[in-house]
Amino acid sequence: MSELLWNLASFIIALGILVAVHEYGHFWVARRCGVIVEKFSIGFGKALWSKKGKDGTEYSISMIPLGGYVKMLDERVDEVPEELKKHAFNNRPLWQRSAIVAAGPIANFLFAIVACWLAFMIGVTALKPIVGHVDNGSIFSQAGIASGVELKAISGIQTSDWEAVNMAIVSHIGDESMTVTYSDKENIGVDVTKRLDLTNWAFDPEKDSPMLSLGFLPYRPALTLDVANVSSNSAAEKSGLLVGDRLLSANGQTLTEWQGMVDVIQANPNKAVTIAVMRDGKEIALTLTPDSKETATGEVIGFAGVSPIFEEWPEGYRYEKQYGPIVAFGKAIEKTGSIIDLTLTMTKKLFTGDVALNNLSGPISIAKGAGTTAEYGLVSFLGFLALISVNLGIINLLPLPVLDGGHLLFFAIEGITRKPVPERVQEIGYKVGTVMIMSLMAVALFNDFMRL
């Protein structure tokens, strides 16, 4: 329950910020163009809070936190007094109306740059993309790539950390091949480029990570048998396990590695397991009854809520990504550009059928992402906001009449024909666009529920 509330609160905060940014873009440009803004609302439905500003605009926070709107004076919507008609949206020059509509998505892109800029200035520890394990017979091994190499680029895209590697791999969904450039310790300064055949690549984001689907995993230090963390109210805590305990045996089986403990726990859901630990130089016997959970394949396994201490990272494997304001700003523009490029690529593949509709995510998945990144800290949450902000901006630029992109499409036609698109045609477009958007939302929600 606490996880649900955390995810919900993180989602509301994230969406509230992004909607406010988007709508403020419309609001700011509208005011600069002399258009009267009657209402600025975050959310839809009944107002939970409302205040009339000195500028005459009503500012409100409404009950349904799934969007927002800026209500401008418009003769097509309400009766407008003669003396105020020049301040109505529909009476402004074409370029001003276009600027007002485009300002929302542009604000989202600018916000993404600011979020990335702050993240780069705060700094975060990054890991060099060094391959730790390669499955025999996998796509990676068939290309002749072994463990221990450092990934330098994927299809020409530089990969300085694992986040860059993931983004580059995901962008190749639906492609027939990609190239991987890497170096290894035995040939320092010599980069090797290999082509990967993706014709048989079966990537299911609900089951595998992009890397695991290609048959490799990042390098991680070896696990010890020492307990690093015991989750609150978990089976491990109830058994009396403490941070710092060293595991010795489970069900009479001497443990030589952490995976042995994992195997015993997973094989005994809701069944008592006898474990021996070393604590303060004394051997102590404990009884642990693992909780149970169902995997994606329907198998019921046990879990205990305990994690181990890792051995130290080798020197040079970790580094700090922290920059001064000027360098951070350049990095932020570069990062936002990469996110925009990936989002455009995936959107295109979605419409061409190269990416299946079951990859669409809705508010439930976004809420989980918001909660998870918020738990990791401010830098992760800022990265999440940047990603969703770019997606929100691009989605709104799609040429569907109910979206900003649809309005811009009508304005483009008006610019060519020198006359507005007939209202009857616009109304039909709005209805068709609404059906399409609602259909996509239904698919996204269905996918969300299937992932629960």
Unique residue bearing structure tokens 């403990």: 261
Single-letter code of the amino acid located at 186 = E
| Rounded distance between C-alpha atoms, residue 395 and residue 69, angstroms | 16
Look up 320 and say whether it is catalytic.
no
| Rounded distance between C-alpha atoms, residue 160 and residue 168, angstroms | 11
Residue closest to 56 by CA, chosen among 74, 36, 76, 27: 36
CB neighbour list of residue 80: distance below 8 Å, 6 or more residues apart: 73, 74, 88
Single-letter code of the amino acid located at 65 = P
User: To 10 degrees, what angle do helices 378-396 and 2-32 make?
Assistant: 50
The DSSP string of 96-164 is HHHHHHHHHHHHHHHHHHHHHHHHHHH-EEEE--BEEEE-TTSHHHHTT--TT-EEEEETTEE-SSHHH
Single-letter code of the amino acid located at 46 = K
Residue closest to 358 by CA, chosen among 213, 204, 198: 204
Q: Which residue among 3, 23, 58, 334 is the active-site one?
A: 23
The DSSP string of 23-60 is HHHHHHHHHHTTPPEEEEEEEEEEEEEEEE-TTSPEEE
3-state helix, strand, coil in the chain (%, to 5): 45, 25, 30
**SS3 of residue 190 by DSSP:** coil
Which residues form the catalytic set?
A: 23
